[in-house]
Every structure is written in structure tokens, then in C-alpha cells.
Amino acid sequence: METTMEQRMLKVPPRKIMTPGPVEVDPRVLRAMSMPILGQFDPAFTQVMNEVMAMLRETFQTKNHWAYPIDGTSRAGLEAVIASLIEPGDRMLVPIYGRFGDLFVEIGERYGADIHTMTCPWGTVFDPQDVIAEIEKVQPKVVALVHGETSTGRMQPLSEIGHACRELNALLVVDSVATFGGADVRTDEWCLDAVIGGAQKCLSVPSGITPITYNERVERVILSRKKVERGIATESDNNSAAVMPIRSNYFDLSQLQDYWSERRLNHHTEATSMEYALHEGLRLVLDEGLTKRFARHKLNEKALMVGIEAMGLDLFGDPECKMPTVTCVSVPEGANADDVRGVLLNQFGIEIAGSFGSLQGKIWRIGTMGYGCRKDNVLAVLAGLEASLIRCGVSVNRGEGLQAAMDVYDEAAE
């Protein structure tokens, strides 16, 4: 049977996305993405690129010159930094307290790193002194750490580790994908050498572009491995080409630096509409102000947690190291985690997440990030979760969760 044009029409159901990412995109970001395409070397577009760099420095809280996006998902940013730093045989220490520490290991292994790991139970984080002791023992070139681990909802303190890495001549690479723009990430104050942010989480920008920043310590390593693509290299570029160039072409930060510098040496065709999206997302963050934005995330986190507990459910993980943008809830005994999520999605149009590995089926993960981090969303997810649990035969304290959350908001308004 012939397919009609109406059947080919894209149909997307409305959703409240309360996962650890992706999240609802801010309508003003969507509007920015509809602006006309410009050529990548049009002065009007390179001005947009310059403005993005300036706003990234402010959001990363850094004076680093290099702050720009990688075209690709957050994983592309992680790989670009590791690919550009690691040569075969380089020691890399990865403290793992959730799924995304293992991702650093996966990437490092593929570029030939001599990987050393340390672990702690999921739901906790490391004592910084334990990490520092391991750095002193291993003497790695790179320490790769996740700031906010969305698989467990925990957040690793970084300041002591960052200062120790500076003293011990190790490069600290930080995954702040799930905290950037929603929680404090003090790049310079905490001595973070390279930081990878996220777009599709607290910035409320679609997945597909990843902010990064790095300092002169990282840049020195990158420049020592620089090789300009032969089709556009000058004689000077060829004469100074590194013996051991960065293995990846697409994720070669030495070439991307030239693209984002005044030289504007072509590397790829910049994702124009995504650049507009990132520009608008950053503008909204800075218009709100970092302090106010972090406080908003903390308020909605508090209302959600209080509501969950008043409903009679338990929160998962050590409360002392909870990240403010993701709340993990233990699945109550007798409940099927996926069945409850299914009712919530199909009846209320609200999506929350399950988890991975040893926590699969044992916890739900609820994100309160960026544009989605709002009072109406928190109250909606509490109401929908309560009704979904009841529908699945789980006993809860009916009505108590919403009332407790509303009390939090009333107190904050006084």
C-alpha cells in the first residue's frame, strides 16, 4: 500500500522529561535554532563563535583562553580531550564510582593508555585523600574524574584533588557533563586542567554540541603533538609536525584550536544551528546569574526530595555527596521499576529514568535540570509518580508528597 504524505509527517508526543538527560529544550533555544544558516567564515558567524567562547569562560568560571565546543554529544568532548592527551603507554588514573568512570577507562584503553583504577561502592564518592594517595603511588600523566555521576546521583569533591594534581604534575580531566550550568564548577579555583561540560542537561540545549575548556598545561601537551592536515598545511606546518601526532583527526584539539583561533584554519563545517543553540543557552544561564541558577536547582531538588520521602519512599545513596541535579529513589519492595515508569509515561506523559549495571531495576533517577528544573515539573512528577505507584499496587502515603513539596516552596517564598 502506498504511503501518504500525511503518514510520513513527523509526529512527536508532548513529554515532560524528568531524566538526567536529555531534558526539555528551552523554547528560546529552539527559536534561536530556526535562525538562517550563515557560512562558517562569514564575519557575522565568527562573531557568534567569539561570543560563545567568552560566555563559556564565564560559565566555566575560568580565565582559560581555550573554551569552545566540540561538535558531537558529550562523549565526543570526553574523547577529544583524552585522544589529544594520551599517547600509547601513558599512565592514566581513573577513580570509578559509577558508570561514567568506566567510560573514561573505555576511551583511555582505545588510545593505548596504561590504565590504573580505584573503586568505591555505587552511591558514595571518594575521600579526596585516598585519591591523592593513589596519585602519589601511580604517578599518572592524566587523572580522569567524573564530577557529577548521573548513574548514582553522587557528586565528587574536586578542590583538594585538583590542587594535589597541580603539585604532583598530573593533569586533571573532569567530566562535568551533568553539573555544568546547574551546580558550581570552579575550573580555576579548583585547579581543573580540562573540563568537559554538557549541552543536553543543565544548559537545556539539544544533544549534539559539547562545551570544553582547558588550560596552558594541557595546551602544551596538545601543541607537542600537533600535525596540520596535509591538504591545508603550509610548509611551516609540515616542518614542525609532531612525530607522534594525535591519533584521531576529528577529535584533534590541536587542529580545533586553529579553527577556533584567529587563523580560522578549516577543520570541519561547524554545526551552525547548534552553535546558535549553545549561544542562546549560555546567554540564558548568564542572564539568570550563576548564583541564582545554582540556588534554583537546589530549591527544586529540596522540594523533590522532601516530597519523595513524605510519600513514604526512600532516597538512594549517601546524602552528604548528592548532586543537586539528579535525585535517585529506591524502588519499593514489590514494585516493578519499569512498570511504574511505563504508567507514568503513558498516563501522564512524564519520563523518569531507570539505572545501569548493579542498580538496574533498583532505583529511579529523576533529573531537575536547566529549563526543566521548575516548580510545576516537580509537583507534576510527584503527583504522577504517586498515582503510578498506586496503579501498580504499591502502598504510599497518599497526598503527603505534594503537600510536603508545596510547603518547601511556600517557605522559600516567605
pLDDT per position as a tens digit, 86-133: 999 999 999 999 999 999 999 999 999 999 999 999 999 999 999 999
CA dist 209 and 249 (Å) reads: 17
Indicate if the pLDDT at residue 223 is higher than 70: yes
CA dist 289 and 341 (Å) reads: 34
Work out the average pLDDT over 162-181: 98
Indicate if the pLDDT at residue 2 is higher than 80: no
Residue 213 DSSP symbol = E
Indicate if the pLDDT at residue 6 is higher than 90: no
Determine the 3-state secondary structure of 1 from DSSP.
Answer: coil
With beta carbons less than 8 A apart as the criterion, state whether 170 and 142 touch: yes
CA dist 5 and 111 (Å) reads: 47
Residues paired with 322 in a beta bridge: 154
With beta carbons less than 8 A apart as the criterion, state whether 384 and 347 touch: yes
pLDDT per position as a tens digit, 129-167: 999 999 999 999 999 999 999 999 999 999 999 999 999
**pLDDT in the model for residue 1:** 59
CA dist 217 and 166 (Å) reads: 10
Indicate if the pLDDT at residue 9 is higher than 90: no
Ramachandran quadrant class, 166 (left: phi over 0; alpha: psi -120 to 50; beta: rest): alpha
Classify the C-alpha dihedral 188-74-10-344 as positive or negative.
negative
Work out the average pLDDT over 62-68: 98
With beta carbons less than 8 A apart as the criterion, state whether 95 and 72 touch: no
User: Among residues of the chain, what percentage have pLDDT more than 90?
Assistant: 93
Assign 7 a pLDDT band (cuts: 50, 70, 90).
Answer: confident
Determine the 3-state secondary structure of 342 from DSSP.
Answer: helix
pLDDT per position as a tens digit, 268-327: 999 999 999 999 999 999 999 999 999 999 999 999 999 999 999 999 999 999 999 999
pLDDT per position as a tens digit, 245-269: 999 999 999 999 999 999 998 899 9
CA dist 222 and 166 (Å) reads: 18
**First vs last C-alpha separation in the chain:** 63
Phi and psi at residue 45, to the nearest 5°: -80, -40
Phi and psi at residue 79, to the nearest 5°: -70, -35
Single pTM value for the model: 0.96
Assign 244 a pLDDT band (cuts: 50, 70, 90).
Answer: confident
Q: Which three cell numbers stand for residue 170?
A: 598530573
Phi and psi at residue 305, to the nearest 5°: -65, -45
With beta carbons less than 8 A apart as the criterion, state whether 360 and 338 touch: no
69: cis peptide before it, omega within 30°? no
Residues paired with 17 in a beta bridge: 351
Indicate if the pLDDT at residue 3 is higher than 80: no
Mean residue pLDDT across the chain: 96
Residue type, 408: V
Classify the C-alpha dihedral 25-29-32-37 as positive or negative.
negative
